[in-house]
Amino acid sequence: PRSIRLQQQRAILYKQLKVPPAINQFTQALDHQTACTQLLKLAHKYRPEMKQEKNQRLLAQAEKKAAGKGDVPTNRLPVLRAGVNTITTLVENKKAQLVVIAHDVDPIGLVVILLALCCKMGVLYCIIKGKARLGRLVHRKTCTTVTITQVNSEDKGALAKLVEAIRTNYNDRYDEIHRHWGGNVLSPKSVARVAKLKKA
């Protein structure tokens, strides 16, 4: 299929061409242990409600109001926020605690700026494999970025542990990551050609 062929061609280009640091940093995804057992487990608790759940909640509120119990003000529950524009605003206002970005966003320029902004504003960020994984968290097919703005008191310890691991892997190493170019790996044909020329 065409989509698979494009993926393969893109992978070959990323391997063989010189990849600038701004794009190469997306190869530094979070390790499986931290991503699956800690980050996704925590994020799963804060999935936004689905349409049916929202309707049920609003119906229950309306019934209470109709029964004469008064309109009880409810606090907004902490949930994941998704989408580049929403998250950019949250980062600028320093309301985001942790920004999670997918490594396979296309076009990549959408999130390159977000990484620089996170570092400038001192907001923690991490890169995770698979935009479909992030999409599942927010009931979509794919999602470029999600952010945790606040958590319940019982999850603060888990978030603190996660933040520590992510800070050492990403924010503290930002300058170092931005010095490393990627790609420039010769194909087997080119390696054979170079070897042949050396022999001659």
Residue 6 lies in a domain: no
- The mean pLDDT values, 10 residues at a time, for the chain of 200 residues are 90 86 87 82 86 85 79 73 91 91 87 89 89 89 90 87 87 84 83 88
Query: Domain with 136 in it: what CATH number?
Result: 3.30.1330.30
Q: Give the count of domains, the chain.
A: 1
Q: Rounded distance, CA 54 to CA 60, Å?
A: 10
Residue 184 has a pLDDT of 79
Determine the structural domain holding residue 47 and report its residue range: 21-180
The amino acid at residue 158 is A
Strand, helix or coil for residue 70: coil
Residue 70 has a pLDDT of 64
Residue 16 lies in a domain: no
Residue 141 has a pLDDT of 92
Residue 3 lies in a domain: no
Residue 132 lies in a domain: yes
